[in-house]
Structure 1
Amino acid sequence: MNSYKHVVYWHDTESVTLGAPLREDIECDVCIVGGGFTGLWTAYFLKEAEPALDIRVVEAHHSGYGASGRADGFVTPTIGKDIQALVREFGYARALHASQAVGRSILEIGRFARKNRVDAEYEATDYLMVATDAAQLKRLREDRALAQRMGAAPAPVLPADESRAVIGSPAVLGSMRTGGALVNPYKLARGIARVVREKGVTLYDTSPCLRVEPGARPTVVTTGGRIKADKVVLATNVHMDAFPPFRRKVVPIWTYAMVSEPLTDAQLSRVAWPGREGLVEAKSLLTCARFTHDNRIMFAGGPAPYYFGRDKRQRNMNRPEVYRAIHREFLRFFPQWADLRFTYAYGGTADVVRDYAPHFGRLDGGNILYGYGYCGNGIAATHTGGKVLRDLALGKDTDYSRLLFVDDGRRGQPADFPPEPALFLGARAVTRLMNWKESRA
């Protein structure tokens, strides 16, 4: 019987000394709620633009503890989950412009890590979108055709033999290479936190936000003190439902991953994977696989459940039935590694919104800003989002403040999800419908 460590693998790759919590009432220029990627990149870009700003960040745990440090580490140009819907709403040109902005973030994250000596284990490997059945092959061809209509120059769809020369899985029937990178997301988050501290940003760990009191200068109320600021940025992603305007905008979907022991040279030799690309299956409830820096295999996918009552408790990491399903999927892709032992099995929540796309904007006359809705594809998009929130906070009209992510007169926030129990029943029905649609060629 397997004995898994229900701890996020990335969290074991770097030790953390917690920073001091907020223990006073203060004032500042900008208070950011949430110390994950969105909040940290916003602080970084604000300080780069206006070094004199007094910026404070309040975080319930510590930077990298939440979704940012639990991600699978794929840095991709993905915008939410439904680029076709964005094309229908905004047209090819604006969708391409947004995709290109997120694509630039992939490269800029690598430059940031090198410039600031952040050991994020950044690997510019690209990733391989793979098909394992006829319906997925059709989706690859449709995605390629859409990219061409948008004005991009996508890679060709490779047949099975060429695909297996890139990643030697017998399950793969075709593939398409996409620009991207791999990182250790926890080390990246911890590195950004260090850099912004060095720039003069104050980060308060173990300082959960209880509420935000609106006003000419909004006030962030934490368990230990209050911060009155000219601008408040809400960057809590899946926890945006804690704030009344977003209570029914976000649903927490659990995603799970397993990480193996380091592979031996003999095990590595069984599967052709010379470029170490990430592998992503071409479906909405995706399966993905990658090497870690120390040659472990991370394999993620399988069920993506919603638990009744928006249950985000850590006890949901102990779900044996989920890990059995993931391991079955792993063996479908890599029967050559049937003897590989998985040592880590864990999960976390991703924010899902009704239109499957990120949202950024202003509330309360512009004094309260927000960014959320990455739907599990946020490492590059949060970097872009930090620039969006920077320009919104500074009141600047720029290419970033005009991206289709921004809620303005042409676009509003996503529609509400229903209350329980309709939400729980609906989430189960949507999952079944997605699986059924994607099984049809």
Structure 2
Amino acid sequence: MASPGQQPVNGGVSFWYRSIGLPRPRPALPGDVEADVCIVGAGFTGLWTAYYLKRQQPDLRIVLLEKEFAGFGASGRNGGWLSAELAGSRDAYAATHGKQGVVDLMRAMRDAVDEVIDVAKNEGIDADIAKDGLLHVARNQAQLQRLHAGLRHEQDWGADPLDFVALSRSEMDERIRVAGSLGGIFSPHCARVQPAKLVQGLADAVVGLGVTIYEQTTVSRIDAGRAVSDRGTVRAPTVLRCLEGFTGSIEGQKRSWLPMNSSMIVTAPLPPDVLDRIGWGGAELLGDYAHGYMYAQRTVDDRIALGGRGIPYRYGSRLDERGATQQWTIDALTALTREMFPATADVPIDHAWCGVLGVPRDWTATVDFDRGTGLGTAGGYVGSGLTTTNLAGRTLADLVLGNQTELTRLPWVGRRVRRWEPEPLRWLGVQSMYALYRTADRREARGLGHTSRIASVANKITGR
């Protein structure tokens, strides 16, 4: 544990893995093999897809290929929000399937929260799950305006009055005392999760069903009928790419989904008097209405784990080195933690890490399967993937098996998105976007009173 003034552990994949220990690697691909289904990427998307495929058709020979170990990427590094938030633009979904299609997807996301909880219970996975809901706090007048606009937006899309409940400042303080709070919104459709425990438990459950996971195997190319790696080639009539932020590692996919960085820090366990001053007695998840938004949870051992974008993108779609993040980002997240929770001023920061999430050009998720080629993919969750991966995995499984279901009719199925611009344009665009967001947040914090026009310019730059 770090003491005040000492540097926290940086990287090591994530604090979530530090708390349970890194898993023992499974064997690598032993050479050329044949299968019915080959899934590239053993994160949540690949694991959920394999889980539901095997549950529906137990005789399928399913092989998962993973460069590191199952759950190495965002699946084992995220903020632990098992939420019903949509991964992308409702307008983009509505453009092809109308308002009802979006309503169906929203309902499916809410159901997916409970589906994950049920699977964890049935499979005996202890992942510190607690469904106490989600709070978003407004800390200045501009954010408060967005809070009320967001509530109206949810109601316009058919949300039940109990799905999103506006809270006054005093009502917010009764749940979590955030410095500068002017009010908040509560949604019951969210649960806290220790993501590394969940993904490792799911990997074990998938193996228990008879799926083979080959780790320490680097796939470089995916073609119809095969996945080519440094350890051999897997030939299968169905090949699914489930790599999210690591999609650019595959030949020809560099500009498909941008690997956006998100970083987290975690405090040491909060002393009882500090926890009392903050008043965070439940397991509610916490977010805000800043443009460069934050996300947080109170862990099962009374720490605050808090994340945000930091330095959002590395030139050329480069990836982090086993979760190590930049000092600037650690300092920024630490300052935000102290600002929101002044009682933590003397509580050391224990660990910092980062990971990448997949961002399509229109910031909206996709599930796709081409029956003619046998190639499929799912991802582009833009940071809302913990629940979305389950729904995507179930949907991809139905598509592969040829089942016509409510899931296969959801508006994210079969979407086509244009590719990201070549460098240096995409680096300049992302850096500009977040510089503008940070400027907008600073202006609003100084009392602008309404959403800064600078944020609107940032949205137009990237098409959000």
Please give the range of the TM-score, normalised by the shorter of the 2 chains: over 0.9
Q: Indicate the SS of the match to 1:255.
A: strand
Q: 1:282 Cα shift?
A: 2.0
Q: Residue 175 of structure 2 is aligned with which of 135, 151, 166?
A: 166
Q: Which residue of 1 aligns with 2:403?
A: 396
Q: 1:172 Cα shift?
A: 1.7
1:414 aligns with 2:423: no
> Residues of 1 paired with 2:146 and 2:96: CA distance?
20
Aligned residue identity for 1:431: Y
1:418-437 maps to which residues of 2 (within 5 A)?
A: 418-435=421-438
Q: Which residue of 1 aligns with 2:221?
A: 211
Q: Which residue of 2 aligns with 1:249?
A: 256
Contact 2:261 2:309 in 1 (8 A): no
> Residues of 2 paired with 1:316 and 1:229: CA distance?
32
Contact 1:119 1:188 in 2 (8 A): yes
1:173-212 maps to which residues of 2 (within 5 A)?
A: 173-178=182-187, 179-212=189-222
CA offsets 1:385-405 (integer angstroms, 9 cap, x no match): 011110111122211111111
Normalised by the length of structure 1, the TM-score is: 0.94
Q: 1:413 Cα shift?
A: 2.0
> Residues of 1 paired with 2:41 and 2:409: CA distance?
24
> Residues of 1 paired with 2:418 and 2:155: CA distance?
30
* Identical-residue share of aligned pairs (%): 29
Contact 2:221 2:251 in 1 (8 A): no
Change (3 A) 1:91 1:258: same
Q: 1:266 Cα shift?
A: 2.2
Aligned residue identity for 2:7: S
> Residues of 2 paired with 1:433 and 1:82: CA distance?
21
Contact 2:226 2:233 in 1 (8 A): yes
Where does the alignment leave 5 or more consecutive residues of structure 2 unmatched? 445-449, 452-464
Q: 1:156 Cα shift?
A: 2.6
> Residues of 1 paired with 2:234 and 2:304: CA distance?
43
1:148 aligns with 2:161: no
Q: Residue 73 of structure 1 is aligned with which of 80, 94, 97?
A: 80
CA offsets 1:182-208 (integer angstroms, 9 cap, x no match): 101111110111001110000111111
> Residues of 1 paired with 2:81 and 2:305: CA distance?
11
> Residues of 2 paired with 1:316 and 1:308: CA distance?
17
Aligned residue identity for 1:128: L
Q: Which residue of 2 aligns with 1:262?
A: 269
Q: Indicate the SS of the match to 1:431.
A: helix
Q: 1:91 Cα shift?
A: 3.1
Q: Residue 3 of structure 1 is aligned with which of 7, 16, 19?
A: 7
Normalised by the length of structure 2, the TM-score is: 0.89
1:35-184 maps to which residues of 2 (within 5 A)?
A: 35-87=42-94, 90-153=97-160, 154-178=163-187, 179-184=189-194
Where does the alignment leave 5 or more consecutive residues of structure 1 unmatched? none
Q: Indicate the SS of the match to 1:13.
A: helix
1:334 aligns with 2:334: no
> Residues of 1 paired with 2:66 and 2:329: CA distance?
30
More deviation, 3-12/190-199: 3-12
Aligned residue identity for 1:5: V
Q: 1:285 Cα shift?
A: 2.7
> Residues of 1 paired with 2:214 and 2:264: CA distance?
29
> Residues of 2 paired with 1:162 and 1:84: CA distance?
32
Change (3 A) 1:245 1:360: farther
Aligned residue identity for 2:89: D
> Residues of 2 paired with 1:364 and 1:45: CA distance?
18
Q: 1:372 Cα shift?
A: 1.2
